[in-house]
Structure 1
Amino acid sequence: MAVVVTECGGRHRFSYTGHPSGSGLDPCGICTDALSHILVCDDKTKTVQMIDKDGQFLSHLLIRPSGIFRPWSLSYDINTHRLWVGSRDNNTGVIYSYITRHDALTDEHTPRPDGDAMFSSTSAVK
């Protein structure tokens, strides 16, 4: 499977098939953030993958608690710049903060290397 991105008129821009390219993807939840990153829950790797607006892989987002949390749904809160990640298996959610208000205003945020894109998290109640 793939995430297919089109222009406003419906013309194909790119298809994202996982990281590394072509490795496969089982996408479920998807959203964009304030910096036009595309965030995708991948059921194959049990991760959230961040790609840029042109389809280039940027990072796997660190999901905790690893092994007992299966990312399934995403929602980005533009007011607080927090990413809400819902789990498929245990009816829980995790809230991440990885973009500062300054980043959103200046469009200067650069994700950290693979596996270290999130710098804080708070578990949501069941």
Structure 2
Amino acid sequence: AVVVTERGGRHRFSYTGHPSGSRLWPRGICTDPLSHILVCDATTKTVQMIDRDGQFLSHLLIRPSGIFSPLSLSYDVNTHRLWVGSPYNTVVIYRYITRQDALTDEHRPRPDGDAMSSSTPAVEWR
């Protein structure tokens, strides 16, 4: 599970995946400018987006043919891109929040499978 606490360490909630209680195997985790919590799930090979209260919002990365397995996350606030790393020496870069979304806090995730507005080809690191 992903356990979220307040600054003082008091438990806020635990997230066990979508649907609730599923076999979440959390890996990389980060937040974005809209206070969404992004979690790599090794079980479903997706990136799950939850809100600041632990409610599931969307799958951001649906496994491409079962090949890509997200392991690490980093959100670049300057370019508004999410960097997703895999154990196969691959990094995929996505954009799902525009600069305007970040300024107005009006982004609404779309249903599963449509959360990405665009993606760039994988970058191979050797």
Bin for the TM-score computed over the shorter chain: over 0.9
Alpha-carbon deviation of 1:66? Answer: 3.3
Q: Which runs of 5+ in 2 are unaligned?
A: none
* Alpha-carbon distance between aligned partners in 2 of 1:50 and 1:44, rounded to the nearest angstrom: 15
> For residues 9-48 of structure 1, what are the structure 2 equivalents within 5 Å?
9-48=8-47
Give the TM-score normalised by the residue count of structure 2: 0.94
The residue number in structure 2 matching 1:75 is 74
> For residues 1-126 of structure 1, what are the structure 2 equivalents within 5 Å?
2-63=1-62, 65-88=64-87, 90-126=88-124
Give the TM-score normalised by the residue count of structure 1: 0.94
Kept in 2, the 8 Å contact 1:3–1:15? The answer is yes
Answer with 61-70 or 91-100: which moved more: 61-70
Q: Which amino acid aligns with 1:95?
A: I
RMSD of aligned residue pairs (Cα, Å): 1.1
Alpha-carbon deviation of 1:31? Answer: 0.3
Alpha-carbon deviation of 1:86? Answer: 0.4
Alpha-carbon deviation of 1:23? Answer: 1.1
Identical amino acids, percent of aligned pairs: 84
Q: Which amino acid aligns with 2:75?
A: Y
Instruction: Tell me which stretches of 4 or more aligned residues in structure 1 moved more than 4 Å.
Output: none
Kept in 2, the 8 Å contact 1:62–1:116? The answer is no
* Alpha-carbon distance between aligned partners in 1 of 2:13 and 2:63, rounded to the nearest angstrom: 30
**Count of matched residue positions in the alignment of Structure 1 and Structure 2:** 124
Per-residue Cα deviation, 1:63-114 (whole angstroms, up to 9, x for no partner): 46331111000000010110000011x2001000010111000100000001
Alpha-carbon deviation of 1:115? Answer: 1.8
Alpha-carbon deviation of 1:116? Answer: 1.2
Q: For 1:4, what is the secondary structure of its paired residue?
A: strand
